Structure formats: C-alpha cells, structure tokens
Chains A and B, each alone.
Chain A
Amino acid sequence: MKLSHIDKLESESIHIIREVASEFDNPVMLYSIGKDSSVMLHLAQKAFYPNKIPFKLMHIDTTWKFKEMINFRDETAKKYNLDLLVHINQEGLRNNINPISSGSKIHTDVMKTQSLIQALDKYKFDAAFGGARRDEEKSRAKERIFSFRDKKHRWDPKNQKPELWNLFNTNIDKDESVRVFPLSNWTEIDIWQYIYQENIPLVPLYFSKIRSVIRRNDMMIMVDDDRLKINENEKIEQKKVRFRTLGCYPLTAAVESDATTVEEIIIELLESKYSERQGRLIDNDQIGSMEKKKQEGYF
C-alpha cells in the first residue's frame, strides 16, 4: 500500500500534535474558527482517539468576528465537548479599539496580537498550536514547524533553530514558549480536499449565498451588524458572495461566487486567479507587513 500525498500530510500533522502533548506541560490549541483551524481540530481528535484531546482550545475574540463564526464556535465546542477558552482584550474594548475608526493596523495589534499575548501570559501556556500554512504568504514559508518565542513572545527570524528530519527541539526555559504549526506543509487545495474527504463541518460563510455587502476600498465588505456605518456614497447591495478566508468582518473581503458546496469551491479554486490572503486587508499595509507582525508576536 502506498500512502497518498494527503495521507502523508495527515500522519505528519498527527505526529507533530502528539509530540507537543508528550513534551510540553501546558499546551493550547489556538482555534480561529476558520477552515484551517477546523482541519487542525479534526487532526487533534484523531491523534488521541478514542480519548479526548488532552489540552485546551482557545479563541482570541476581537469582538468583530462574523456572528455566524461565533455561533459555529459555540456549537462545535458543545458538540465535541471541547475545553474552550475565549479571551477578549478588555482594555482594548474599554479604549474602543475597533477596525473601522482605529484602522486595521491598530485593531489587529491590540485586539489580536496584544490580546493573544495577554492570554498566553495569563494561562502560562508553553506551547500554542496555530493553523498557519507555509504556502499562505512568503514570510510564512520560512517559519519553522516548532517556532520559538522569547519571554516577550517575539519571533526572531535571524535566530531560528534549525529543524532537521522530524526531530523537534522542544527545550525551553521558564516563560518562553513555542508556536507549533502542524499544517505547515499543507496547501490550500490540500486543505479543501481533506475537508471534502473527511466531511469536516465549516462555518457557512465559506459557502455562497445572497448577503448584504457594500463596496469599500475596492473590496466587498459584508454588513454583519449595525456597527458598520454606511457612508453617503456607499449603498448596500444584495450579492451572491462567499468568503475565502475569515477574520474580522470589516477587514475581510467577500468574493462573488456561485459555489455552495465544497466540490464547487474546489472547482472554483482550481480556476481561480487569486490567492486566499488577498481577502485580508491586514497583509497589504506595507511590504513585508506579515513579517513585522510576526516579530511583534502575531501568529
């Protein structure tokens, strides 16, 4: 029997997840509700089957996620009896930091990066799983599977530990931590193929339907609640759209699409000319922006 490409990726990820469970005292799985997180969660369940996942999940909630994401998160936690923590940066909330008037840069920094760091400090996690993949963005391509973070959670691209074979250096000092990326070697198409084959449930936002959107900065933004103020020159349109990537709704662009099933999404993807991170405003702030965010502690 020959293992297929997907079989190999699946086993590799399970190996990584088990290695963390074996070598760290207090790991956590960062759960962002998106498709990659859903795949990662599915793999973690397989890794410890028939028993439960031996660590907590955590969602960093910016309070600006799509409503459907939050519903899906809570349903998933209930369905699988997951140990889920939700963390919100209360100080950011008090200061009214938001993606619309504060801008994407400050919002992301305070409500995602700073919030994550607060939570990691609060619960003293020594390893945090993330669903990032190397094919998403250029600076991700050079990230390790076990990526070391210092006491202040910073990433130093010039001081990465070499990662040979599948031998992972899990030795850290007190208050240091690692970010672990079990999906490093998966591509977007691999993820979708796996979702299809394994029948993994997803947030309905990935599938196309008529939704209320406005056009802003050449992107279609969904009107998810009344916090999004409509400017005079903008009008709400009903469009058949879906999302290729999920984040804070004012920062996540919808794409017009007819794809209502995983099969149709895959076919669309094969014909598509745009990569998935294009739907995220935060990457385009400046050249090398992802790299800068990662150095500050962003996932």
Chain B
Amino acid sequence: MDIETFFQNQNNKKQLKILTCGSVDDGKSTLIGRLLFDSKNIYSDQLSQTEIESEKYGTQGKQIDLALLIDGLQAEREQGITIDVAYRYFETKKCKFIIADTPGHEEYTRNMVTGASNSDVGIILVDATKGILDQTKRHTFILSLLGIENIIVAVNKMDLINYDEKKFKDIIASFKNFAGEFNFNLQKFIPISALVGDNVFQKNKNISWYNGKSLIDELEEISLKDTLEEEIFSLPVQFVNRLSSEFRGYSGTITSGKIKVNDEVHVFSSKEKIKIIKILTPKGESDFAVKGQAVTLTLDKEVDISRGDLLCSVKNHNYFLSDQFASHIIWMNKEQMIPERNYIFKFINFQTIGKITDLVHKININSFEKIASKFLNLNEIGYAKVALNKNTIFNPYKNNKKLGSFVIIDQFNNQTVGAGVIEHELRRASNISWHQMSINKNLRSSINGQKPCVLWFTGLSGSGKSTIANIIEQKLHKLEKHTYLLDGDNVRHGLNKDLGFTNVDRVENIRRISEVSRLMVDAGLITIVSFISPFKSERKMARELVESDEFIEIYVDTSIEECEKRDPKGLYKKARSGKLKNFTGIDSNYEIPSSPEIILETKTKSAEELADEVILYLKQDNKI
C-alpha cells in the first residue's frame, strides 16, 4: 500500500466515541478487550504482558484474560473491578473509535455520567443469564439524560444460555417495556458473546436465527446528525489574543454552525453587530470555518469582548442571557448537595458563584419516579432551579450540549461535586428589579455617628458567644450607638421556627440571618449576630452579602472540652446520651474559621475584657 492512499483512507475514517455500560460482571472489559484484540490493535508485547498478568490475576484459567488488557490501575486489578473511566483506542477500515470504559457499580454512577458526557453512542451490556437489572435501567436513563441518541443493547454471554432465541427476545421485550419513554433515535439489539467473539466482529453460525448485523458493522453505520439548532453559528470566546500590540483576535472553538469571512455576527452580551475580517484555522488562514474547529477571528472594529462572551449568528436562535435556569443535576460527591449553599458553576468559557435555590424533585433512577427531597446525595439525580451571581449565556442542552452543560465545584476544596444539563431559562430574575430608594445606608448611619457593620460571632454551643455579645451591646448602647443583636436561640422562636438541625436546615437558618443582617446594615445599624454558624461556606455567604469592610468575623475560641464542662443548658449531656441529634461538635461538624478578623480566647480572659477588645477594634477601625 502506498502512503498517500493510506492517509486518504485515514482521513476518510469517521471518529466515533462510544461508551460501554452494564452492571458488574456483565463483561464490559472483556468486550473491549475483544474489540481491541479482533481489530488487531494490540501489540504483541502488550499481549505478552497481559499473559504474565493473567497468570497472576486472571479469572479465565490458562486462557488469556482479555479484561486484564483494559483494567489499568493496580488496585482495581487486584479487586477485579474498574474504579474509573478508562479511554481506549482502536480502528477498523471505516472508523476510528474512542471507547470509554465505565464501571457498573452503583456507587460509581458519576464515572458513567462522565463517560457518557463525552460519547456519541452507548453500548448497554446485558448479561443474558441475568436479564434486565436495576443497573440496566439506570444506565439507560443516564444515556437519555445526557442526550445520547444512539444506543445498542448487546445481550452478552449468549454462549452460556445455549444461544437461546426465546430468552434473547424476552430480554428485548422487557427492555422496550421500560425504555419506551426515552425516544432514542436509534436502538438496536444484538446477541453476542464477548468471551468467544460471537457477533462482535464476525457473525456466527451459533446464532443463525439472528438476521441483523454484527456489533462492529452496526457501529460503523451510525451517522451522527446535527440538530437544526446546531447549524446556527456560535463561538464562545475562550481567549482574547492580544499578546502583541500588532494583533488582536478572538479565539475559541466553534460550538455550532459555520462562519465565512465578511459574515455579520452578534456579540451576544452587548448585541453589537460586527463583521468577520479574518479566520485563522489550525490549517492556516481560511475563508470559512465549521463546528468543532478551534479558530481565531479578527473583526472589523474594536469592541469590548472578553472570555465568557459569545459570538453568534444574527439569525434566530435560542440563547439566553440570564442568572437563573432550571436543570437536571447529577451529584458526584460524598458530601451532599445543599440548597442555598454557594458553589462555583463552571460553563464552557465562564465560571461564577451560584446556588441551587430549589430542588424540585429527585429521581429514582431505577423506577424513574419523582421523589420530593431537600438535598441530593452522591450519585443522585434531581431537577432543580439554579441562581447565579452573574448573568451567563446558555442554550438548553437538547439544542447545544456545549452551551447547555455545566459542572459544579466546591469553593473550598475545589472538587468537582456535580454536573448539570440546562433544561430552560427561568424568568423570575428579569422581572423583579431592585428599587433605588432616596435615603441610603450612608445617610441613615450618618445621623447615628457610626458606620454600620456586622459583628458575626461564631463558635461552639456554650463557648460564650451570647454572653460576650450581650456585654458588647450594652457598652455600645452606653456610647449611644444604634445596635441590634440577633441571637441564634431567639431567632429560632420566630423567623426560623420552622427549621430543625439537619445540615440543610442549618444552611437555611444562616441564609435567612445573613439576609436579615444585610437589611440591618442597610438600616445603618451595628448588627451583632450570635450563631454557632458551623460551616465556612455559609459564613462566607454572609460576608459576601455586605461590603468587604462591613463584616467582622469573631471566633469565640473555646475548646469542646471546656464547653462540655460548662454546658450551661445541659445540651452536651443530652447529645452525649443520644437524646439530641446533629449537635455541633458531637455528631455534627464545626469548621474553625481560617482567618477571622478577631479571635477571642475565653480560657485566659473574662467576658468583660473580651468585650472591651471588640470595642477597641471598632474604634480603631473607625466604626464608632
């Protein structure tokens, strides 16, 4: 073969990203091993390495264990399970495949979601000896949620049921029975044996009653279609290239449609119209560019465009600029999702702080039932409303996956804790606007001769917060300052009497108090807040509601042993005996502030002395 023909063939090959999913022991790794082996994409040294490992870890007796070609990490080799997503590569005469191997264990749903987000086709493996399981339903649901339109149901281990046609048909029937509502574009059923190789590459006479194609033939024939929406040009600006003074261009990957030189496009945020002058593609300067290409554009005029903006067709489209939307959310972290807690939301070219305001329902992914819930646990999927601190540009996921997806990141440990697909915009934000009143905070506080602020006391129950806060208020009162003291216990008698002590309720408790203290600061008051407020996240939220110099975090540093010894309300005793649940310091966590403005050491000083320290701070800070 000459090299040019080879390249031509290579360039004509399409790329297909496939995901294999199925439950534990359905034979996913064996199937992928088989695909690599039969397509001759394994080199002999890799094979001999696998032979060595087969003797050590293999489950196929003397035979080579194809699954061991695939399982990469040592821990999972020893346990015989896949713990992560692995990407594998093989090619046939017509197609280049990128295959994501994802685990079947229930606790690893997040990895399957990860694999599915990067795939075009899903292969759902069903063990012929077991039939449809809960996991099969779960995987089908996730594929549908992530917008995968082509699925192949491969009924594996047909050799173990003597290639029984009736059993195969029963499995198809029960699959169709539950999957009917998902509306996959393409849905095929193939009886296979990955171990023996039946119907993977070759059709096999063992299954003469099966008239369809082999798995690989079926995959090669899949053609991926763009939705109508995907034909309209859009480019999220990723990088502004002005690395030298002579050149200014806007770089990013085209997420839909195509663009030509001289086309007129919108800068979405400002609605300004601009004309495309030059298109720099990876192949050099070009008259046009299409979806999927990473390009740099130069424009006919200098406009204000930055990372986070969207360049898009002037024609009809369905993009939104909003700070609120409804979306499905997949939770991927051990620490549960809590409504009203601030998280980082990352979109294709933009990230901002936001929160899940309402969990409308969560979904039982085995029965697809909608269930009322306040929070999501690891691997749970829910439907929720999201509110962001800043406007972002998006498009519902079904129209454009790249502009309709986001991940949720914990703002303290930077873990990716969740992922979401946007369903639709919520209009509430744009309908309620903020009225500017004539009398403002500065005018109000100036007659009081003070600068308003929040003195936020945090610490364990019994640490002395309320005692010190009370003395401070008396001292300020003597100085003729206007104050108000919000006390945790007192507020729970009224405003927050509907809240309990679960993590979700604690977060809501602090959210309301943060909002109330913001109003009081706006009213010009020195606001004293005395709440356990155990979580960093909510203290940060409270801090961010007011101006940066208006929030004074005061950590009342008393050890748990000391608090327990004092136990003024007998609460520690109750908690220790199990009569009181979710008690901070006992069976609920207290996160010590990392950089409070003031730390009050109660061990060595009296409450009176500590109160004076705070008063001194206020004077030095020109608050009073």
Contacts and interface: CB of A to CB of B under 8 A. Distances in A.
Interface of A: 1-8, 10-12, 14-15, 18-19, 21-22, 46-52, 54, 134-135, 138-142, 157-158, 160-167, 169, 171-173, 176, 184-185, 187, 189, 193, 196-197, 263, 266-267, 270, 272-275, 278, 287-288, 291-292
Interface string B11-46: 111110000000000000000000000000001111
A273 B43 contact: yes
Contacts of B13: 4-5
Given A1-B290, A157-B73, A160-B84, A10 B282 contact: yes
Nearest to A9: B15
Nearest to A176: B414
Interface stretch (B125-133, B239-247, B452-460, B478-486): B239-247
B75 A263 contact: no
B449 interface: no
Nearest to A54: B243
B415 A142 contact: no
B119 to A, nearest CB: 11
Contact of A164 (B83, B283, B405): B405
Interface of B: 1, 3, 6-7, 10-15, 43-46, 52-53, 56, 69-75, 77, 83-89, 96, 98, 110-111, 113-114, 117-118, 238-239, 241, 243-244, 247, 251-253, 258, 280, 282-283, 288, 290, 292-294, 296, 307, 332, 344, 346-348, 351, 401-402, 405-407, 409, 411, 414-416, 419
A162 B43 contact: no
7 contacts: A51-B247, A139-B72, A165-B348, A171-B409, A193-B7, A273-B44, A287-B52
Nearest to A162: B114
A7 B283 CA distance: 9
Given A5-B96, A18-B294, A171-B409, A141 B238 contact: no
B543 to A, nearest CB: 19
Q: Which of B53, B113, B238, B401 has the most CB of A within 10 A?
A: B238
A84 B117 CA distance: 37
Contact of B43 (A138, A196, A263, A275): A275
B524 to A, nearest CB: 37
A287 to B, nearest CB: 6
A187 B253 CA distance: 22
Given A5-B10, A5-B15, A7-B293, A157 B75 contact: yes
A80 B77 CA distance: 45
A196 B98 CA distance: 22
Contacts, number: 187
Contact of A165 (B53, B117, B332, B351): B117
B309 to A, nearest CB: 13
A14 B414 contact: no
A6 to B, nearest CB: 7
Given A49-B280, A167-B346, 11 more contacts: A1-B290, A5-B96, A7-B282, A8-B15, A15-B238, A165-B402, A165-B405, A166-B348, A197-B7, A266-B6, A274-B43
Contact of B77 (A184, A270, A288): A288
B407 A167 contact: yes
A51 B242 CA distance: 8
Given A3-B290, A51-B244, A142 B86 contact: yes
B292 A278 contact: no
Contacts of B98: 185
B247 A22 contact: no
Nearest to A138: B72
Contacts of A7: 282-283, 292-293
A182 to B, nearest CB: 11
A169 B346 contact: yes
Contact of A49 (B293, B296, B347): B296
